[in-house]
Amino acid sequence: MVLSASRVSSLPRRLILNKRGLATPSTLPIKDCTSITPPYSRLLKTLDQVRDVLPTGSKLTLAEKILYSHLRNPEESLGGGNGSNTKIRGERYLKLRPDRVAMQDASAQMALLQFMTCRLPSCAVPASIHCDHLIQAQTGAESDLTRSIEQNKEVFDFLQSAAKKYGIEFWKPGSGIIHQIVLENYAAPGLLMLGTDSHTPNAGGLGMLAIGVGGADAVDALTDTPWELKAPLITGVKLTGELKGWATPKDLILHLAGKLTVRGGTGRIIEYFGPGVSAQSCTGLATIANMGAEVGATTSTFPYSDNMRQYLHATGRGPVAEAADDAAKKGFLSADEGAEYDEVIEINLSELEPHLNGPFTPDLATPLSSFSNFLNTNKYPTTLSSALIGSCTNSSYEDMSRVASIAEQAKAAGLKSKVPFLVTPGSELIRATVEKDGLQDTLESVGATVLANACGPCIGQWKRDDHKGEDNAILTSFNRNFKARNDGNLKTMNFLASPEIVTAMAFSGDLNFNPTTDSIPTPNGPFKFTPPSGDRLPPTGYSAGDLSYAPSPSPVPQPDTEIAISPSSTRLEILEPFGTNFEGGKGELPPMRCLMRVKGKCTTDHISAAGAWLKYKGHLSNISENTLMTAVNDENNSINKAVDVDGGEDTIPRTMQKYKERGEPWMLVVDDNYGEGSAREHAALQPRFYGGAMIVARSFARIHETNLKKQGILPLWFLDKADYSKISAHDHVSTIGLEQVMDGTSTSDIITLRVERPSGEVEEIKTRHTLSKDQIEWLRFGSALNYIGAKAREASA
């Protein structure tokens, strides 16, 4: 293998570090860690109170320790049980006090618009805004960033002005992807953080609980309102053995996604344990936690390890590591010996091989050795059209250095990428360090184009002019691969893989190529890759890069700051409170007409598309015009077609608009795992904006069900999934039993639906609700924000 000059110069230092196990040096200054160090003393004190409430001798998992130590009142959340029969997981609602909130620029708009309605002078907890979603990949980092800043100026100005007014740290466009920035700057063992993005769990790589939520949930934390979470079940994943050859942490989570499916983690926290955990790098653990979102998990976490400690020191957070060391000695940052899990999955890392997942769903897992046969059996394209690495899932220094080792091998053999090869650094810290160490030069020398430090193609911000409307296959190291997600083309098949596999295959251009066994012909004879190698942390330390992107830590709120929203803007509008369906104390929803029955997979991408629509995230009226526009109608098997109010046919959004204009409430019937995918609260806001009152599902994805409740839409689950087909467009649907739930006279979770069909036939269908006491109030008041506002006015009266 041929090494670049900078890599050769660093080699002796790397060998010494690996041999002696010394901490990787950091060229970064030690940060002020006051606001980022978890309040361990308070958490341990609360945990002592928890143990007094729980049955004597209770053994807690790590996830439970972190959750329960953030309870506002342990007795209220955990008490009142019957001794050893106390059932908490999957039953109790926990009222929690999160430590921090992180928001990306697309979702931050609505989160802040909702926060503004609370009329508070500042945030109750530290918070940050990250400008990463609105930067479109087209030609390269510099030009893409310049153009995107110009196109999104009014949104960035709004976010920056709000950050200044309320004391929020504002990371400018170009600083990096929210999850990488959080891992490098804010994540800490034992912390509880909320983030307005479904891949917030990425920060779990540092032994914390990071949970993706909608903006209204974030407002709970920002206003010091108790944040409510139904106590998750805990799935334990025991790791044994060690990764070998081409296998990576990404392959572990790709393999696990295949085992659990996109619904297997719903209502659960995944907690990893066993001898295989401590051997993984901190950033490798973050990759695993990141894609826990793809199985529906609430979040993922790992016990505190030496690799986490080294990462904290390397990123200038030595004081956090020292505080965590002390907390770990007191038993806080690992599970109790003998703690029990609701399910245990054991994975032998020594037997793991690279996987490729897809197309169109992240849980269709195929081992690399079987991938060629999989493609040919399904008659999928075998010619690779593009290769993309980076994203919030795989853009660490370790990822980039291992990829560079593959590129160096290819370069020495005279090879260049046969397809467009796009590289997305996760942050300015990574970009600058990769440049310093010569890795960027190596990648560019074999044909790579380095994009801006932003989400880019991973979330649909990719201006791709070729292959429009054509069947084609791409390989990415991303986390999600739903139809049309990356380039807007429903026919683009995105196969998820490790950055190492993606890179190696780029030099072949043939998806039948297996880099672990096959050779590539060259003028000098067949060439075969050797397994990649790299550094977990940069041998000579990280380079901070352009510091102008970063905010000053813990800024003081400036209440006189004027929020930048133009009255004529098409991208931002002040949020008006929703009305309530329970005026006059009525306890049942008004009679509704069924708008449609949604068929099959319906993700938040289907409900509220991203891509070009991201520019309207702060303008509810405009973005609502995309509502369910790629959903399939089960009654006519068509996309974006519904029976309108007069019995004709129209698009789904226009049909909703007509119901709204008439003042007629409506409801939806939806399939399994409705709302899977991104933590996109617009997918709940938009139907509510158009007058949607109830959604009945075979099952819901966790974040989306909560988002619906927050916005005042009643989510119900069919008791018998077969009843899904018994409600059709234009049926009149009424609730029976909701009034007793609302007034507290019923402890049953059953609500009956009375369905009256146009023929006059009437049928009653059983459903169940999952409303907590507080969530009933959200419904009564029309939204969680309305309820928060009413309580605040009552307190100040």
CA distance linking residue 366 with residue 514, whole number of Å: 13
Out of 10, 99, 107, 132, pick the active-site residue. 132
Residue 465 designated active-site: no
Q: Which of 133, 313, 431, 485 is catalytic?
A: 133
Q: Contact at 8 Å (CB) between 357 and 366?
A: yes
Residue 583: partners with Cβ closer than 8 Å, 6 or more residues away: none
Chain centroid to CA 731: how far? 36
Q: Does residue 363 carry a catalytic annotation? A: no
Nearest to 711 by CA among 731, 684, 741, 729: 684
DSSP bridge pairs for 493: 473
- As a whole number of Å, the CA-based R_g of the chain is 26
Q: How far apart are the C-alpha atoms of 145 and 136, rounded to whole Å?
A: 8
Q: Which of 99, 105, 144, 197 is catalytic?
A: 197
The two structure tokens encoding residue 88: 């908490």
Active site residue 133: yes
DSSP letter (8 states) at residue 661:
H
Q: Which of 255, 480, 688, 769 is catalytic?
A: 480
CA 104 to each of CA 120, 182, 461, 552, 556: distance values in angstroms, whole numbers, following the listed order: 21, 11, 14, 18, 21
Q: Which of 371, 62, 121 minimizes the C-alpha distance to 246?
A: 371
Query: Among the options 26, 198, 678, 783, which is catalytic?
Result: 678
Residue 197 annotated as catalytic: yes
CB-CB neighbours of 286 under 10 Å: 32
Question: Rounded to an integer, what distance in angstroms lies between the CA atom of residue 121 and that of residue 432?
Answer: 37
Q: What is 302-314 written as a DSSP string?
A: ----HHHHHHHHH
Amino acid at the residue 334: S
Q: Cβ distance 299 to 204 under 8 Å?
A: yes
Is the CB of residue 428 less than 8 Å from the CB of residue 174?
A: yes
Angstrom distance (rounded) from CA 620 to CA 626: 11
Residues in Cβ contact with 642 at an 8 Å cutoff, skipping those fewer than 6 apart: 595, 596, 633, 649, 650, 651, 652, 655, 729
How far apart CA 506 and CA 415 sit, in angstroms, is: 10
CA-CA distance, 588 to 740, in Å (whole number)? Answer: 9
Task: Determine whether 769 is an active site residue.
Answer: no
Which residues are known catalytic residues?
132-133, 197, 480, 678, 680
